Amino acid sequence: MDPAQILLTQNRAFPSLEYVLQGSIQDDSVHLLKARLQGLCDNITGEVEQFDDHEIVYTLRIPGASNVSLRVRYAIDDIPNPIYHLRYVASAELDKSQSVSVRQFHDCCVTKNIQAFLQDLGFAYDHEFFAKGDIFRKGRMKITVAKIST
């Protein structure tokens, strides 16, 4: 099965809600966080999934209404044939019952021509960043520990 088909199949199984907890940690303390996560998550064999992604944000500015932003992300380490993802992330809302932010999202695989297509639709380049780090999994939960750079 093609990797893009696998990702599409996996996306259908997950709800389009994500619980968000963000924070920052000093570089000299990251190893402690990773060790704790490795003990708590399903990565107990010592194998930690790593990623190195490039994300570009495009915004459609609508006068008198809310702006709409879409994110194009691909893995740098999958060059020359990366799988591109287009992601819409709604504004975060507070779930008071669990004291955590919740936001809706929609994610799909797209062709590498997505950036030109978005610009043709009227979306403008907003910003971009690189995220490199590790992924820890516990059941359906995914925790990323990443360093962000521009």
Domains, the chain: 17-149 (2.40.320.10)
Residues 56-109: tens digit of each pLDDT: 999 999 888 888 999 999 999 877 788 999 999 888 787 777 777 888 888 999
Distance of CA 67 to the CA centre of its chain: 20
Helix or strand run (H / E) with residue 12: helix 3-13
Instruction: Report CA Rg, the chain.
Output: 17
Give the residue among 107, 77, 102 at the shortest CA–CA distance from 92: 102
Check: pTM over 0.85? Answer yes or no: no
Cβ atoms 73, 52 nearer than 8 A: no
Of 5-14, 23-32, 88-97, 113-122, give the range with the top mean pLDDT.
113-122
